[in-house]
Amino acid sequence: MSKPDVKCRRLEGKVALVTAATAGIGLATAERLAQEGASVYICSRKQSNVDETVASLRSRGLQADGCACHVGSAEQRKQLVEACVRRYGGLDILVSNAAVNPGAGPLADTPPHVIDKILDINIKSAVLLVQEALPHLQKRPGASIVFISSVTAFNPPAPIAMYAISKTALLGLTKGLAAELGPQGIRVNCVAPGIVPTKFSAALVETPELAAQQAESTLLKRLGRPEEQAAAVAYLVSPDAAYVTGETLVVSGGMQSRL
């Protein structure tokens, strides 16, 4: 299916920082925000991937730049935010998309180092990135934060339950930050994608049989696409969602999504 023809320009004059944005949902999100008029700053762990993605976005007339960043590094998080603000003069939108899934298997058998890695990158780094960006977001009217969670957050499945539990934490982080930052006019929301064939869902769709089983679990009887998640993010950071905060928007084709 072809990509959507984006004609709306809801984000003119805005600056968006999107982490882990050289592939999958992160890349689709960066592209969509840029198509809607935002100046987009991206990151990934490898500079070569950033350079390639920036060149691709610019070749289509989109405003994009970026740098390498390991979100688990305090120094690199600081450098990321500073580079974005230095390049574009401010920051209006933060999309926290970076995550890891270093192991799959039963929760009861998950090694401590796998638990530590998941919690460090998927939760701790998300909080600390917000702390780094907040002084700049506070200067911009209508600033917005979006976390990328997962529909698996609502019912963590084997064999990626530990990863899914870290995504459950993002639902609470969204609520907590929304309550704190709402009086400052900063909105905080979350997108919970369904099963989208990316590296993070590889264990769930690694065979045609598994992919078909996952598609059957949706009401629409198909897997999701990165562009559909990006459209949800674009809505949440746009003026159209000016009265929406503390919410998790599930984009899963109708999969079960209740805690």
Q: Does the structure show a pLDDT above 60 at 79?
A: yes
pLDDT of residue 62: 98
- In tens, the pLDDT along 4-31 reads 677 799 999 999 999 999 999 999 999 9
Q: Which CATH class is domain 15-195+227-250?
A: alpha beta
Res. 49: pLDDT tops 60: yes
pLDDT in tens, 204-257: 677 888 889 889 999 999 999 999 999 999 999 999 999 999 999 999 999 988
The pTM score is 0.95
Q: What is the pLDDT of residue 201?
A: 63
Mean pLDDT, rounded, for 94-120: 96
Contact between 168 and 153 (Cβ < 8 Å): yes
- Whether the CB-CB separation of 192 and 251 falls below 8 Å is answered with yes
Domain ranges of the chain: 15-195+227-250
SS3 244: coil
* Structure-model confidence comparison of residues 1 and 256, the more confident one: 256
Region 168-174 average pLDDT = 98
3-state secondary structure of 188: strand
CA nearest to 19, candidates 61, 71, 65, 73:
71
Among the listed residues 41, 88, 163, 235, the single catalytic one is: 163
Q: Is 235 a catalytic residue?
A: no
Q: Which has more pLDDT, 202 or 101?
A: 101
